[in-house]
Amino acid sequence: MKNTPERTCIACHKKGDKRDFVRIVKTSEGQIVLDKTGKLNGRGAYVCASEECIRLCKKTHALNRAFKQDVSDEIYDKLASEV
């Protein structure tokens, strides 16, 4: 399926189907939120739904880079609780 959107993990840069990722969205209000439904509007970033990548994401502050702003530890901790 050529039209299946491919996502790239912001921690390990591996590509894959969006079902394998946790989506994080920056809303129009500039808030960073976890998007469990995959339907929120806004700029999205993806990280593999694996403990390893989420740990790596926190360690390297990959979300800060993805969204070009400070992302609180709370968000990283929430991510960690998703896997």
Contact residues toward Zn ion (CB under 5 A) are: 9, 11-12, 14, 48, 53
User: How many Å apart are CA 38 and CA 6, to the nearest integer?
Assistant: 14
Q: How far is the CB of 30 from Zn ion (least distance, A)?
A: 25
Q: How far is the CB of 33 from Zn ion (least distance, A)?
A: 20
Helix (H) or strand (E) holding 7: strand 6-8
Q: Quick one: 21 or 32, whose CB is closer to Zn ion? A: 21
Give the CA distances from residue 52 to residues 32, 37, 39, in Å, rounded to whole numbers and listed in that order: 21, 22, 25
Q: How far is the CB of 54 from Zn ion (least distance, A)?
A: 8
